[in-house]
Amino acid sequence: MTWDWQVFCKDTTSGDAVQGCFGRGGDVTYLNWIFSAWGWTLSVALLSLIVAMLVGSLMGILRTAPNKWLVLLGNAWTELFRNIPLLVQIFLWYHVIPSIFLVLRGVPSFVLVVFALGFFTSARISEQVKAGIQSLPKGQRYAGLAMGLTLPQTYRYVLLPMAFRIVIPPLTSESMNIVKNSSVAFAVSIAELTMFAMQAGEETSRNVEIYLAVTLLYFISAFAINRVMHVVEDRVRVPGMIGGK
Amino acid sequence: MKRTVLALAAVLAVGVVQADTLAKIKETGAIALGVRESSGALAFTLGDGKYAGFHTEMAQHIASDLQKQLGLAKMEVKFQPVTSQNRIPLVQNGTVDLECGSTTNNAARQKDVAFAITTYVEEVRIAVKANSGITSIAQLNGKNVATTTGTTSVQTLRKHEKATGMDFKEIFGKDHADSFLLLESGRADAFVMDGQILAGNIAKSKNPADFKIVGEVLSVEPIACMLRRDDAPFKKAVDDSIKGMIKSGELAKLYDKWFMQPIPPSNTKVGLPLSEATKAAWANPNDRPMEDYAKK
């Protein structure tokens, strides 16, 4: 086959090539569109990541608390969200739950997918945070409490600083996964990269070029997160502790 | 290392496959038909590797005509399911010899592949709830309009907005069933899509009387079988076979079977009578692209 990269310079309504490849005055080319789609992908991924980190850490901590009801809550949350396939969860949030609670119909699908993806990933982060805390010797917790620290203080100053450092590598994978998983947002009508690929591919019949460009943008996004996390890992390294030099 | 380079070169070379399909069929004693899994009554799967539908059955007729023409005592007909994303590359690289599903013949695609004569003319229409009072696209300004990602209807709506200054709140379903659910649950006021897909979804719904297809035809698209470019003998053989079916009334019989009679798997009728546009395409067999239809 022959390559036709000019496809990105075409106007999305007329199909005519545009000078300079970026449309002006309300005209949109496929190049404009792919960047806007990239923006949607990054917005969904980063906001979901914030939700996932907050909720996941909270649930992970609860699962190690010395109270069986809190442990039960954390376990129930984790098992609920990691045992249902992501696309099914999106379908439940989008079609099923709003038909039971009519108020939810007014919620924009962007908010919905951020929470759906955030909660799904929070189950996985909860598992990792729990594992991080449990990997510390029991004596650490007791030492903190024996020093006269309250339980929250023990977590804040003794356990979590070490647990989080230990789980940075799996958290990196999870953060990269969220970029790739954000592709399910196309199912709830978010104009992100996967939707762009399907739609622009159909309109231009240049699926190979379109998918290659989209693949590259996904790779760049996930790899950027990988590098950022690498820097974080490097900066928070403490001599004498795991991962330290 | 050298071997890898050679292997890579071989993979790339598949792109320029020999264009003599008839010779290939004769040599291998097999034809690969590209089929669709959910293109409404045009082409769909029944599961278990079984494929049915108007264009699927027509392709089987074409295959048996080719077998007669080539004088083969035995010919294997292989079904290769394809999607909107991979159908053109698969025809180009020779995985599929003839793809009959729901492919629109347009000028952009004609640069990559050839099309047999048009056998079905699709009209993009609007489905609404029967009690909505909507009868025209003009009433959809500012309303929620559902359509399916990866279809030309998305572009049709975009063009319509640009031309008329209207503003639709578009909701994109991930597949036709999803888009129809948006209409059924009231999230969307209308579902804009190919007429036969709308008719099929309405026929399969819980209460078909609740929905109707209204308004003007938004876009006209000739649907045809797709084959490799620059293979005149193969194209002629396929076209002749289709022309034969038109002449003998076989194609009209197939249309009646798939669009007017109850069809599997649910034994419901699509109930979409033969359109004037399709009749005209049969009366004057041609392979004109979609752009020619828009000019009229």
Confirm whether pTM is higher than 0.90: no
* A-chain residues near B181 (CB < 8 A): 95
With CB atoms and an 8 Å threshold, state whether B154 touches A95: no
pLDDT of B243: 96
Q: What is the pLDDT of residues A84-105, one digit of tens each?
A: 999 999 999 998 998 898 888 8
CB pairs under 8 A between A and B: 58
With an 8 Å Cβ cutoff, are A201 and B85 in contact? yes
Nearest chain A residue to B109 by CA: give it.
A205
CATH hierarchy code of domain B14-119+224-290: 3.40.190.10
Q: Does B109 contact chain A (CB < 8 Å)?
A: yes
At B52, list the tokens.
Answer: 């049915």
Average pLDDT over residues B131-137: 92
ipTM: 0.82
Residue B45 host element (H or E): strand B44-47
Which residues numbered 5-44 in A keep a CB inside 8 Å of some CB on B? 12-13, 15
Q: What is the rounded distance in angstroms from the CA atom of residue B25 to the CA atom of residue B61? A: 16
Give B11-47 pLDDT, tens digit per residue: 454 444 557 999 999 999 999 999 999 888 999 999 8
Q: Is the pLDDT of residue B72 over 80?
A: yes
Q: Are B243 and B285 in contact (CB under 8 A)?
A: yes
Residue among B171, B205, B180, B194 nearest B272 (CA) = B194
Question: Are B14-119+224-290 and B122-221 equal in CATH topology?
Answer: yes
pLDDT of residue B17: 54
* Domain covering B122-221, topology: D-Maltodextrin-Binding Protein; domain 2 (3.40.190)
Whether B181 contacts chain A with CB within 8 A: yes
Which residue ranges form the domains of chain A, and what is each CATH number? 5-235 (1.10.3720.10)
Sign of the CA dihedral with B190 first, then B177, B151, and B195 last: negative
List of residues 6+ apart from A66 with CB closer than 8 A: A151
pLDDT tens, residue by residue, A173-223: 999 999 999 999 999 999 999 999 999 988 888 888 999 999 999 999 999
B232-286 pLDDT tens trace: 999 999 999 999 999 999 999 999 999 999 998 888 888 889 999 999 999 999 9
Q: Indicate which of A90, A205, A208, A210 best probes the interface with B, i.e. most B CBs within 10 Å of its own CB.
A: A205
Distance, in Å, from the CA atom of A208 to the CA atom of A2, rounded to the nearest integer, reads 10
What is the C-alpha to C-alpha distance for residues B251 and B100, in angstroms, rounded to an integer?
14
The domains of chain B are located at: 14-119+224-290, 122-221
Is the pLDDT score of A66 beyond 80? yes
At residue A21, φ and ψ (nearest 5 deg) are: 70, -20
Six token digits for residue B94: 């020779």
DSSP code of residue A155? I
Instruction: Judge if the upstream peptide bond of residue B81 is cis by omega within 30 degrees of 0.
Output: no
- Average pLDDT score over chain A: 92
Asked whether the beta carbons of B70 and B26 are under 8 A apart, the reply is yes
Average pLDDT over residues A111-128: 96
CA distance to partner chain B, nearest, from residue A42 (Å): 20
